[in-house]
């Protein structure tokens, strides 16, 4: 890494070292990779492609597939970055063999650190789950506004050629099939989880819970597994400590990344465009905050602990926030299901309205085509 004028090492190696240690164990690059990428050395490109692929796979699909080719990995990384709104054309023009472009990959990695809070998401995805949890979200309206803003700021790097509508229909059918399979698997998981909670009810020392989780039940059946659990907890603790160190040294990293590259990366026009996008993003965030303040409701978002309750027959399974003492914030599964059904009804109504608008537009188009004859396809 770089050294100061007097030969004394600066805080930059410590910052990059903490950044690497905060990453998941199987995805950590060598710290020297960042220095090589800063000078656009081609030998750093393959490792950075693998790094981005591994990290983004963990966030979006729960794990990476080591058998994927470098071309598949690169296409996946580019598609995810396009989804998140990354707008450098130079990145999307990088070759599919991963031979060059280490500096562009370093910029993309740094953008993810800031734009989507990459480290925080990785810590959340890879944390050791001792309790039984599920993810809830009852703030869909805010998510829709965020998605709308994301698509407005996204780069215009679409498909060069037209896509066959039959291919899109096939993708839609495949997505529906996978969704049904996932739903069946999740139902089976819920049935097994319910059995564990019922059979162990009244056995837990914590009376606010009263039953064992899946992990706790497994430790009772196989006590030797506690060693592996302790190793996982120690590894997570070390990543959290590295993350805290990184947050203290983070400004050093950003100074190293912006420094000496302003004129090379952005000319005056590009800089003004970037500032304009930043202003739009800030305005979008402010509008979201104003909307949330004006329509403040008891919304839930994020992981919640699953707790079996048999005191109230109408509420067998409860969704409690992760903290044990926040009993007043619990919500029953039946209440959540009713809220989701109401939201489903609203979405169905909105869908019908949009379909009706499309029918009217098609009717208007058809009325203007008096001299055109439409012949339906012959049935075979």
Q: Model confidence over 23-52: pLDDT tens digits? A: 998 889 999 999 999 999 999 999 999 999
Token reading at 106: 């370093």
Q: What was the pLDDT predicted at 33?
A: 95
Q: In what order do the strands lie in the sheet with 331-332?
A: 133-137, 301-308, 317-320, 331-332
Q: Please, are residues 41 and 32 in contact by the beta-carbon 8 Å criterion?
A: no
Q: Model confidence over 160-207: pLDDT tens digits? A: 455 677 888 888 899 999 999 999 998 999 899 999 988 888 888 877
pLDDT(345) > 50: yes
How many residues in the chain? 380
Q: What was the pLDDT predicted at 134?
A: 78
Q: What was the pLDDT predicted at 144?
A: 44
Q: Please, are residues 55 and 118 in contact by the beta-carbon 8 Å criterion?
A: yes
SS (H, E, C) 110-158: HHHHHHCCHHHHHHHHCCCCCCCEEEEECCHHHHHHHHHHHHHHCCCCC
Q: What was the pLDDT predicted at 379?
A: 58
Q: What was the pLDDT predicted at 323?
A: 43
pLDDT(54) > 90: yes
Q: Please, are residues 38 and 258 in contact by the beta-carbon 8 Å criterion?
A: no
Q: Model confidence over 284-332: pLDDT tens digits? A: 767 766 666 665 555 666 777 778 776 544 344 455 544 444 443 567 7
Task: Name the residue with higher pLDDT: 270 or 305.
Answer: 305
Question: What's the rounded Cα separation, in Å, for the pair 66 and 55?
Answer: 13
| 0.75 exceeded by pTM | no
Compute the average pLDDT of residues 220-245. Answer: 92
Compute the average pLDDT of residues 109-118. Answer: 93
pLDDT(22) > 80: yes
Q: What was the pLDDT predicted at 177?
A: 94
Q: What was the pLDDT predicted at 315?
A: 40
Question: What's the rounded Cα separation, in Å, for the pair 174 and 151?
Answer: 24
pLDDT band, very low/low/confident/very high, at 60 (cuts 50, 70, 90): confident
Task: Name the residue with higher pLDDT: 329 or 117.
Answer: 117
Angle, in degrees to the nearest 10, between helices 12-22 and 118-125 = 30
Which residues face 303 on adjacent strands?
135
Task: Report the percentage of the chain scoring pLDDT > 70.
Answer: 72
pLDDT(76) > 90: yes
Token reading at 285: 């965030």
Q: What was the pLDDT predicted at 296?
A: 54
Q: What was the pLDDT predicted at 26?
A: 87
pLDDT(5) > 70: no
Task: Name the residue with higher pLDDT: 313 or 210.
Answer: 210
Q: What was the pLDDT predicted at 10?
A: 66
Q: What was the pLDDT predicted at 94?
A: 95
pLDDT(77) > 90: yes
H-type alpha helices, the chain: 12-22, 32-38, 45-60, 70-84, 89-92, 102-115, 118-125, 140-153, 165-199, 214-221, 226-258, 262-265, 268-294, 333-367
Mean pLDDT, rounded, of the chain: 79
């Amino acid at each position: 890494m770089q050294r100061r004028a007097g030969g004394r090492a600066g805080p930059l190696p410590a910052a990059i070292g903490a950044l690497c240690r905060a990453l998941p164990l199987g995805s950590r690059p060598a710290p020297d990779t960042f220095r090589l990428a800063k000078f656009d050395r081609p030998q750093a490109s393959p490792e950075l492609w693998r790094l981005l692929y591994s990290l983004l796979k963990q966030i979006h699909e729960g794990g990476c597939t080591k058998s994927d080719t470098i071309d598949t990995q690169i296409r996946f990384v580019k598609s995810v970055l396009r989804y998140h709104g990354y707008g450098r054309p130079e990145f999307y023009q990088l070759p599919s063999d991963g031979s060059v472009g280490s500096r562009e990959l370093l910029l993309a990695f740094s953008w993810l650190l800031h734009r989507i809070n990459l480290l925080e998401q990785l810590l959340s995805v890879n944390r050791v789950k001792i309790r039984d949890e599920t993810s809830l979200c009852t703030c869909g309206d805010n998510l829709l506004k965020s998605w709308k803003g994301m698509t407005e700021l996204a780069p215009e790097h679409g498909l060069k050629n037209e896509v066959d509508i039959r291919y899109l229909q096939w993708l839609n059918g495949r997505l529906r099939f996978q969704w049904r399979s996932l739903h069946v698997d999740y139902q089976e998981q819920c049935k097994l989880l319910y059995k564990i909670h019922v059979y162990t009810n009244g056995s837990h020392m914590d009376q606010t819970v009263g039953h064992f989780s899946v992990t706790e039940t497994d430790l009772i059946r196989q006590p030797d597994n506690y060693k592996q659990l302790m190793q996982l907890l120690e590894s997570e603790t070390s990543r959290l400590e590295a993350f805290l160190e990184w947050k203290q040294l983070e400004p050093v990293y950003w100074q190293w990344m912006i420094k000496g590259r302003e004129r090379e990366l952005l000319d005056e026009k590009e800089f003004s465009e970037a500032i304009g996008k930043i202003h739009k993003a800030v305005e979008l965030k402010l509008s979201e905050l104003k909307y949330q303040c004006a329509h403040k409701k008891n919304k839930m978002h994020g992981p919640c602990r699953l707790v079996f309750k048999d005191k109230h027959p109408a509420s067998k399974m409860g969704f409690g926030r992760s903290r044990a003492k926040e009993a007043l914030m619990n919500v029953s599964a039946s209440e959540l299901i009713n809220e989701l059904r109401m939201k489903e009804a609203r979405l169905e109504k909105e869908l019908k309205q949009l379909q009706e608008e499309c029918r009217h537009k098609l009717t208007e188009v058809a009325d203007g085509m008096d001299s055109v004859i439409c012949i339906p396809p012959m049935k075979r």
